């Protein structure tokens, strides 16, 4: 799976939205109901590195794999960064991203979860937006 396919996969998840955060963040962020579940780095030298949240157990497992490392600033919340998404099998990567998505969705109020699930159709990615507050 390459970065384009992974971007498309993230965008197809029900209720998922994306937005690009300008400098100093330089990330393409995916969220559901305002809760982050994945992001791509957009600037060099880390361009197209992909990060997502995982379980504490999988965090230990994944950070022992070559090409996967703890995510900068978010490792304490069990986020990992995949240096090259082509180095991880597509099926496994989809499973990991789906878990991160479900975790973000589950953290929302039940009414918001139901509304997002009822839509069933993903929203289109949003054009580049300037963030005043940064990453939440």
Residue identified by tokens 């929203």 is: 123
CA-to-CA distance for 106 and 35, rounded, in angstroms? Answer: 10
Name the residue range of residue 85's domain.
3-118
pTM above 0.85, yes or no: no
How does pLDDT run across 67-79, given as a tens digit for each residue? 999 999 999 999 9
In sequence order, the 6+-apart residues with CB closer than 8 A to the CB of 38 are 10, 29, 30, 50, 51, 52, 97, 100, 101
Do the domain assignments include residue 134?
Answer: no
List C-alpha distances in Å: 84 to 67, 71, 129.
7, 14, 26
Do the domain assignments include residue 128?
Answer: no
Do the domain assignments include residue 123?
Answer: no
Do the domain assignments include residue 127?
Answer: no
If one counts the domains in the chain, the total is: 1
Do the domain assignments include residue 133?
Answer: no
What's the whole-number mean pLDDT along residues 124-134? 43
**Which CATH number do you get for residue 71?**
3.90.1150.30
Do the domain assignments include residue 125?
Answer: no
CA-to-CA distance for 123 and 92, rounded, in angstroms? Answer: 24
Please state, rounded to an integer, the average pLDDT across all residues of the chain: 86
């Amino acid at each position: 799976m390459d970065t384009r396919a992974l971007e498309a996969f993230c965008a197809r998840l029900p209720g998922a939205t994306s937005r690009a955060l300008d400098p100093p963040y330089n990330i393409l962020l995916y969220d559901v109901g305002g809760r982050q579940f994945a992001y791509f780095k957009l600037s060099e030298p880390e361009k197209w590195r992909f990060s997502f949240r995982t379980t504490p157990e999988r965090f230990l497992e994944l950070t022992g794999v070559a090409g996967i490392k703890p995510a900068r600033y978010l490792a304490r919340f069990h986020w990992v960064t995949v240096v090259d998404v082509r180095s991880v099998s597509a099926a496994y990567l989809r499973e990991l991203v789906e878990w991160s998505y479900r975790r973000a969705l589950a953290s929302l109020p039940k009414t918001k979860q139901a509304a997002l699930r009822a839509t069933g159709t993903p929203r289109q990615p949003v054009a580049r937006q300037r963030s005043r507050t940064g990453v939440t």
